[in-house]
Amino acid sequence: PMALLGLLVLLALAGPVGGTWDTCSSVTSAAGATHTSRVGGTSVQPGAWPSIVSIQATWENGTWHMCTGVLLSSQWVLTVAHCFARAGGISMWDVVIGAIDLRQPGPEAVVRRIQRLLVHQHYVAATARNDIALVELDQPVECSDYIQLGCVPDASLRVSELKSCYIAGWNFGPGMVLQEAKVHLMDTELCNSSRWYAGAIHPRNLCAGYPQGGIDTCQGDSGGPLVCKDNEADYYWLVGLNSWGRGCDRARHPGIYTSTQHFYNWILLQTGLSPAERAGPAPEPAVTSAPEEPLKPEQPEEQINLTPECSQKPAVTSSGTSLPMAFPHQILVQFWNLVQEFLQF
């Protein structure tokens, strides 16, 4: 009886999840099975990466995929700052959500204009320090089998201990179908060693790939997500965004990613997805579009103590493995333990 009571309590606690971070309903996504290899990865089917978006620009010579991003809420996308280094006005930029093949997005995809761009106030283009940005969409999107939200871990997650990680993005080339590949998180000290990146990697970066090369993100994948499976539960965290690298698939030169965990509190402050105290006057944004609004200051990372509230169900990769988005970590673990206890009872 006590186990059943505890189970009911946890179900009650889990019910309101999604109030601040997740504003979309959760829908189980669908995906396919077999696909073509390309640049060390495989093509995926619709619904396989439901939080990924394509950021595109329209110029006189056509519309081009510029960067990749991740949908965080019904109206906010997380991506990298360097995507907009030479953007100029962004009035002609679009965000395509729910698409896999950019040549034929399909009826499940939606397109939104960029209403506002917030580049991290301490972004340094020369060194790619603080390479992160937020895009506010002009209209909210509704979640579906093909559109879901990604989740950023707070400071309590030990990202370096995660073992099962994947990357995704669109490559420039003959095809514009979303690619995915499995990668390993690599020790940043090794990646920063003299024969590797020789100190160019910042503390807020992650290094992922393989020592021998062969699988890596490439040009066209800027802002592409790096997701890793939680070690205690069957869901994945958005731990990184593709920032830079040297060449494609070179030995001792794996992909370098902006660590989203380090910017968790900054994201919450800028988007208003969770109530947080402001700390002093806000600096002017590095890049923005009308209506102009000053960025809120980033608080020290040790103050990051809010758990992302997301409620996505599993999204399946092309290989058939489950890529669920996050649910509050402790509640899920406790819930699973109580289910097992209840079944034994």
Instruction: Give me 225's structure tokens.
Output: 């997500």
Length of the chain in terms of residues written: 345
Q: How far is CA 146 from CA 4, 35, 73, in A?
A: 35, 18, 14
* Helices 329-344, 2-14: inter-axial angle, 10-degree rounding: 150
Measured between alpha carbons, how far is 240 from 259 in angstroms, rounded to an integer? 5
Measured between alpha carbons, how far is 271 from 134 in angstroms, rounded to an integer? 8
Q: Which of 24, 70, 102, 30 is nearest to 226 (CA)?
A: 70
Neighbours of 40 (CB within 10 A): 21
Give me the DSSP letters along 94-148. EEEES-SBTTS--TT-EEEEEEEEEE-TT-BTTTTBT--EEEEESS-----SS--
Measured between alpha carbons, how far is 288 from 334 in angstroms, rounded to an integer? 42
Instruction: Give me 198's structure tokens.
Output: 């020789």
> Residue 76: what are its φ and ψ, rounded to 5°?
-125, 140
- Three-state DSSP class for 44? coil
As annotated, the active-site residues are 82, 131, 222
